[in-house]
Structure 1
Amino acid sequence: MGIYAIKMPDIGEGIAEVELVEWRVKPGDEVKEDQVVADVMTDKATVEIPSPVAGKVMELGGQPGQLMAVGSELIRLEVAGEGNVKAGAAKPAKAAVASTLSPDQKDDITVENKSVEPARPASHPHPNPLPPAGEGAKPPAVTPAPRRAPGDKPIASPAVRRRAWELGIELQYVHGSGPAGRIEHGDLEVYLASRGQPQQATPARMRQKDGEEQLPMIGLRRKIAQKMQEAKRRIPHFSYVEEVDVTELEALRAKLNAKFGASRGKLTVLPFIARAVVLALEDFPQMNARFDDDAGVVTRYQPVHLGIATQTDSGLMVPVLRHAEAMDPWTFAKELTRVAEAARSGKASRDELQGSTITISSLGPLGGIVTTPVINHPEVAIIGVNRIVERPVFQGDAVVKRALMNLSSSFDHRVVDGMDAAQFIQTVRALLETPAMLFVE
């Protein structure tokens, strides 16, 4: 038997390191040839790493969240034959990975679940006050709260802590009769008796909760955080909000769905908004652009590669609809469904997740009244779609019911002037309020 070390492959595009997102195997597992052993993430996409040989997992080369250099040791397998590693000739896989991490990155991979009893000042009112005494009744003897230094955590077993939580007792105020002041089950009963309270659980929704949970920011969540931070750091955002009357648009959409829904598919409002944005960009090409602020160059695009902000189980992703200018509403709807499902399932290709020139962000029925979307760097504009609501509106002397929706959009003030942004959104608004214009050449 021999040892075979699988090293982090060169994924291409000049990538020097990747982030380890998830292990698909564990020590002791039997691995087949071409079986995926790990998922890693580049700046653009998640990549599956297969095993080139069959064998038994001996050692994993790191923990999720660690950055691994291309060529570093990913995993070791016990294989039939000689393998590619001589016994004792190389560092263990974990040491190879650790060498690629900064001290801060090493700290980031620790996950802790803590149950912390917060310290309270001596003057803090007691969390379980005495019940009022009846006429002439003698109040029960009360055990004074134990003297603990600020920040001292009461000592108790997990079982005692759980029972205290169920009974609504804060351990900070319970005397411990065990060694070193350890709180026992009997101490909880003594405490309840001293307070004159029956031993019954506090209603679940009224229990005091303590504790905290630390979650490492890894994988896609880390990439999202880095991208959002970079966008807000580098781009001077300004937002513009406008109300749009979509009553006629909703009526047209209902008619189109009734007539063509079975054969072409149902339409949401998003394809119409996308079409309005595409048409408005013909008059405002400065919005369909990317700004390389390092080089000081703005690149305007004739094709519209429309990014669609999409929520997935892993976090926000922006799949791209290429050449949206050439799509009718039904084609747009089909492509939107396809790329959104690919993003949610983790099967979107790199080309489907990069290269957008302007982005639409919609939370659907959760869209709120106003949002302030963050620009998808290095683009210069993003269109935020809020929910549709019905409200009374004056039309002449009459009050009528209309369907209204806000567009909340953000722009890069280095590239886009406020007047141009307002005129652009007003053009989109006019198209949506007169939806027949969306189909006029």
Structure 2
Amino acid sequence: MLLLGFSIIILAGAFLLKLPVASASREPISFVDALFTATSAACVTGLVVFDTGSHFSTFGHWVILMLVQIGGIGFMTMATLFALILRRRISLRERLILQESLNQGSIEGLVRLVRKVIFYALMIELVGTVLYTVRFAFDMPFGQAVYHGVFHAISVFNNAGFDLSGNSGSFSQYASDLYINAVSMGLIVLGGFGFIVLADLFEIRRKKKFSLHTKVVLSVSAVLIAVGAVIILIFEFTNTRSIGDESFGHKALSALFHSVTTRSAGVTTGDIADYRQATQFFMIILMFIGASPGSTGGGIKTTTFAVLVGAVLAMIRGKEDVVLFRFRLAQERVYKAVTVTLFCIGIVLLGTMILATTEDASFLKILFEATSAFGTVGLSMGLTGSLTVAGKLTIIFLMFMGRLGPLTLTYALGPKPGRVLYRHAEGKIIIG
């Protein structure tokens, strides 16, 4: 259902974007380009073959925005919302699909969670719209400021990366604007936390304490953002092509913003192609880790990364159990984290090898593009606009896989396990 649902939404969006009315010039774009844009929007990635602001009409902008909203919140969440509005009963089958869509451990309280997801998302987007509009009103007519405010609030909160600026860096004209940077980073971080964490944050007064999941997400996200900002600042401090000639405050703000945006957002205040190769490779690592489960972002997720680090530390210390915040994790969680990571590495490597065959570009630029697509990040070093048809189809595949999640596709397409009737004798091999 998840596989089919996303496919239908993407195809419907592609047909709408291919209509002449969706183009500013009234000239229809090719189906591959329409499919690429629709996939990028529904998978909340932000990679584009055309400039969104100038190439598409107002109708095209709203189609992209609706795809972003459905893709970010999740089509099963939206379907459940409409069912609740129509006062239709949610069946057990639908609850099970919703459980998989929201990455939950049980079906208990799912309908209440859907209501919270919709409420939190709309409230955060509304606040973001107001904050953006206030600032944009100084640079453009009020009506246009509202339009830009709505578009960017939804796009940035859903970690989609689409913008109407027409610049190589989404908010490059606001690179030193603390207000725009702060609003954007706030929306990115909230969208990347996941709705389970948002529910815990908004209900802390009633619950009095955070769940283990929330503690792991908050701590790992904070560490990754802080460490990422410091490393980007160090690597780019003397790079005159990026931030080397700016004041220290501007350098620090830019480093922090780009550490946050690699979590799956895709908006930038500068041209990533101007960064040093060490910075670009480090950003690939951050993009691969991505956001958190149940969020609008992609990647292997912060919790998966935490479990892997915990398993390594446990092995180094000679411990049998992986312990996070004084809680022991089941062995099945560790196996799942390893499986997800290896599966994701395999997909990114496969996509990179295909792109290295079809595209005439440096290996780092290709790896960056592949990781950005799979992590549904949307950052690019300039390769997207010159992709061949085969390259575009490869990126479409990577974005689709990254949004649905490799395990979801594996469970959907793979054989169903039967009951185990026996166990093999234990064997030993040498590791390392």
TM-score (norm 1): 0.22
TM-score (norm 2): 0.23
More strand by share: 1
More helix by share: 2
